[in-house]
Amino acid sequence: MLKRCREVLLWRWRRNPLKRRSDVAEAWVGLAAVAVVLFAAPTAGVTAAAVAERSALTQSQGLRRVTAQLVEAAPAATVARFAGSADDELVRATVRWTTDGSSRTGTALVAADRKAGSRTTVWLDASDRVRPAPPTPAQARAQGVVTGTTAAMGAALLVLGLRWAARVRLDRRRWARWERDWAAFDAHRGHRGHRHA
């Protein structure tokens, strides 16, 4: 059984009088596709993951963390949470902080349902503008994994799509060749039949 399966799978590589050039071309295209999927797709995924993680981690460069107070009460949560949920919904609220001896205000993402005067942490850039909190190393790693997996799958799908397109083109050439050969055979048969008549 195993020998028969191997013979079926490898028929394009063995000597065979019925084997066409397009069969050999299809075998090489398939082999190249397997090689690219096995080696290039993981390489693309690992590279994309590293770039995405590094990019996420560099978002914190130039940012500084300061403590601010809510000028007004933060709006209520828009989505009901389960009791004891660790995730706080973030909402926009006006906050005030002091930097270089002067008081400043701005809008920042804070936990919902916080009272006016509550303390919160905001991230500022070099121009003292409020910026989103940078990702933690774990969040950056997760972002890298998602990006890398997407890149690897995209590369694999691209290669498989190109292999499919090559096979469609080879099939069209085979059908055209088959039609030419059949027409030649039919013409020859018709010619012989006419001579015998």
Q: What is the pLDDT of residues 33-85, one digit of tens each?
A: 888 889 988 999 999 999 999 988 887 788 888 888 888 887 776 655 544 44
Whether residue 77 sits in one domain with residue 35: no
Whether residue 84 sits in one domain with residue 51: no
CB 62 within 8 A of CB 126: yes
pTM: 0.61
Question: Which residues form the domain of 121?
Answer: 61-134
Q: What is the pLDDT of residues 132-164, one digit of tens each?
A: 888 888 988 999 999 999 999 999 999 999 989
DSSP per-residue string spanning 127-186: T--EEPPPPPHHHHHHHHHHHHHHHHHHHHHHHHHHHHHHHHHHHHHHHHHHHHHHHHHH
Confirm whether 180 is domain-assigned: no
Q: Domains in the chain: how many in total?
A: 2
Whether residue 39 sits in one domain with residue 70: no
Confirm whether 117 is domain-assigned: yes
